[in-house]
Structure 1
Amino acid sequence: MKTLLTTLALCASALFGTGAALAQSNATAYPVAPAAGLYQAFGEKAGLQALMDDFVQRLAADAAIGDQFKTTNLENLSRLLTEQTCQLAGGPCQYSGRNMVQSHAGLKITPAHFNRLVEVLQASMDAKGIPFTRQNQMLALLAPMHRDVITVR
């Protein structure tokens, strides 16, 4: 799993470099086109909401990173993640949250935290029966965010 994330992160870095343009306030700040049919493959908004509800509960319960979510409004986090993944996957949603730099400032997130979060997301996608190819397509859309989420290098 870490190899997949590393590959995705390197591809994203090579494609998009670094820069302030990535600190925009919506999901389109990460200009990767979704694969055809990705939104539908995830069950549209209802499927993404169910996935994010599962994911957020797993994050909160995770022994390695759950403490980082102890004061988080989990319902709001799930709603925002649903909006974000829906928009990224080509759905009709608009992400209404803060940009990734603002959302994660001061949280002392390391590469290990980020990698664990991806592993938890993969476990949620597995539990929801999302095919591996579709998982990789979603992860490719999310991978460029790593540079704005990781705050401790």
Structure 2
Amino acid sequence: MRILPLALILSLTACAQQPPRDDSLYQALGGQAGITRIVEGMLLNIAGDRRIVRHFEDIDIVRLRDKLVEQICAEAGGPCAYTGDSMEESHKGQQLTPSDFNALVENLQDAMDAEGTPVPAQNRLLARLAPMRGQVIER
């Protein structure tokens, strides 16, 4: 009988020792609703961007939207878990160039501007997404 209470105490202690998740960026982006609006705005911007729209012609745009929302939510410290493919797998065979990547980032920034996202929050998000550049270009 003593094992169960001890196990319970140990598990509660372990939970109590974990640092709280920093969701300040998630909150600055407007939470789930704000991130969804940013992603949808970015996709609308891409639809009108002749530089890169061709890369999005044969994809399931609803699935892409959902996975981008998950990914940004997770990267921003929100309660989401990204369930999509790796960046390498998602972009395999597309031979994306640095210019393509930069155009997408411009469309994301324009969407964040339109949403009224503060520049420091934009910079924090872009810094978290920047490491993906090498996983996307020329794959």
2:48 aligned with 1:51: no
Check the 8 A contact 1:59/1:117 in 2, yes or no. yes
Percentage of matched positions with identical amino acids: 43
* Contact persistence 1:60–1:70 (CA under 8 A): no
Cα distance in structure 1, aligned partners of 2:137 and 2:96: 5
Contact residue 48 and residue 86 of structure 1 kept, 8 A = yes
Which structure would you say has the larger Rg?
2
Which residue in the other structure is 1:61 paired with?
48
Equivalent runs, 1:1-153 vs 2, <5 Å: 37-151=24-138
* Unmatched runs of 5 consecutive residues or more in structure 2: 1-20
User: 1:63: how far off?
Assistant: 1.2
Could you give the per-residue CA deviations for residues 77-108 of structure 1, whole angstroms, max 9, x where no partner exists? 11100000000100000101000000001001
Q: Which moved more, 1:138-147 or 1:62-71?
A: 62-71
Measure the CA separation in 1 of the matches of 2:64 and 2:28: 22
Pick 1 or 2: higher relative contact order, CA cutoff 8 A, min separation 6: 1
Per-residue deviation, residues 61-87 of structure 1 (Å, max 9, x unmatched): 211111111112111111100000000
For this pair of structures, how many residues does the alignment match?
A: 119
Aligned-residue Cα RMSD (Å) equals 1.5
Amino acid at match of 1:128: E
Q: Kindly tell me: are residues 35 and 140 of structure 1, through their superposed partners in 2, closer, same or farther at Cα, counting changes over 3 Å? A: farther
Structure 1 unmatched ranges of 5 or more = 1-33
Letter in 2 for 1:138: L
TM-score by length of 2: 0.81
Moved over 3 A (4+): none
Q: Is residue 35–residue 137 contact of structure 1 (8 Å, CA) maintained in 2?
A: no
* Cα displacement (A) at 1:60: 2.1
Residues of 2 paired with 1:124 and 1:147: CA distance? 23
**Cα separation, 1, equivalents of 2:86 and 2:120:** 27
Shift of 1:36: 5.7
